[in-house]
Structure 1
């Protein structure tokens, strides 16, 4: 069910809830498939009996409809995949975070000066740097990674995972030491992987269009953070086959912080979208 907390100005909304609110705000008809979402929003007090949106929603809806920069964060781990993000509007900034096995995401207003801090918090970026000796770059293929992750999922117990992962990597061929041992360690200790992408209306070559840039990180717990250099973000659909090179490079938290800051465009890089 949708809900809100005005004391901290936060909302819990599902995708259907937000879709219905956007249509109502734009004066568009709401399809029958969203009728249950409209009913839930009415029960929560977010849609008034006369069909108007609650005034408290206006900053959020204005930001969703008029966002100049959209940051998406996709995370993948043992609890599945989650989507988080940030919407930067002309007046307000909102973050949204999902929760495992829940339909709703939490939307919270963010101070514009705290955007980098908020994005770092959303990916659980921690200040301590984990010392690690030995190999700091690993090369493989996406096919080898897929085989190793599948073998890890089929392992009978966590104690069996290192053997299963190593055997799967070795069976794909093309991996020698020390890459074989280090990639086995990274996969076994992988807490989660995430990728962060920022998109905005900017310049695409010589034409005005959508500009995007991003990067991907593996959080390997005691083995630290690893930048997925290849395939480079944003990854196109034709760059995900089994023979596509995979390259991971050790990276420190302070370097990730800088990458987050550099991900966001400055005002000169943004073309305001045309008025609707």
Structure 2
């Protein structure tokens, strides 16, 4: 069910509810398949019987309908893939998060100067005191990393030492890696908490289409953060193969913060200034 937390100006809304809000914003009739979602919005007090949404929700709807900047975050972890992000409108800025296995997302209003902080929180950015390893750069192929992930999926019953030994042998054979890269890469995969891909898009000022910037970062727990320099973002679907180069670079937490900041377009890059 959708809901509203007035004390924190946040909403829980699912895709079907967004579909209803899109119909209402455009002055269109709610389609039959969206009627249950419309009834849920009414039951939650977010829309009246004559389909007028509450003022607080109207700001979110306006930002979603006419976004100035869109941020998409795809996080892959042990529970699968979850989608998060942010939407910046002319009058309001919201960050949204999902929970593994849940349909609805939580939309929380934030101020534009706090956007980078909010995005860093979404990806769980924090300083664990990781130091650069003996090989701060690892270069191999996408297929080698994929083979490592597949092997790890079959090693759940093994001890950490046995899993490390088998993984090391596979990476050495499949990718031709040698020390110190081999040892570092082996432990990166063993310690991997998850990886996240952050993409920011906006209509450029020249009116010639959409500009896009992005990064992909591996969160390797005590071994720190690793920026995937190759393949470089943004990546279009179907453009990466198993033979493509994979290049990972150890990146301290301060630099990751800077990389997130650099994704956000400046006012000069946008088609029109937005309120800050």
After TM superposition, the score normalised by the length of structure 2 is 0.92
Shift of 1:112: 1.6
The answer to whether 1:67 aligns with 2:67 is yes
2:92 corresponds in structure 1 to: 92
Equivalent residue pairs, number: 271
Runs of 4+ aligned residues of structure 1 deviating over 4 Å after TM superposition are none
Instruction: Quote the residue 2:150 is aligned against.
Output: 150
Q: CA deviation at 1:94?
A: 0.4
Helix, strand or coil for the counterpart of 2:126? coil
Within the alignment, does 1:261 sit opposite 2:261 as a pair?
Answer: yes
Post-superposition offset of 1:215: 0.7
Out of 160, 163, 166, which is 1:161 matched to?
163
Q: What SS does the corresponding residue of 1:239 show, helix, strand or coil?
A: coil
Instruction: Indicate the larger mover: 11-20 or 149-158.
Output: 149-158
CA distance in 2, matches of 1:167, 1:245: 20
Taking structure 1 as the reference length, the TM-score comes to 0.92
Structure 1, unaligned runs of 5 or more: none
Query: CA–CA distance in 2 between the matches of 1:201 and 1:89?
Result: 12
Secondary structure at the counterpart of residue 183 of structure 1: helix
Q: Are the aligned partners of 1:148 and 1:164 in contact in 2 as well (CA < 8 Å)?
A: no
Aligned residue number for residue 251 of structure 1: 251
Shift of 1:220: 0.5
- Report deviation, 1:158: 5.9
Match of 1:190 in 2: 192
Q: Distance in 2 between matches of 1:23 and 1:168?
A: 53
Shift of 1:173: 3.7
Please name the residue that 1:123 is paired with: 123
Which stretch has the larger CA shift, 29-38 or 15-24? 29-38
Secondary structure, aligned partner of 1:106 = strand
Q: CA RMSD in A?
A: 1.8
2:233 and 2:211 mapped to 1: Cα distance? 13
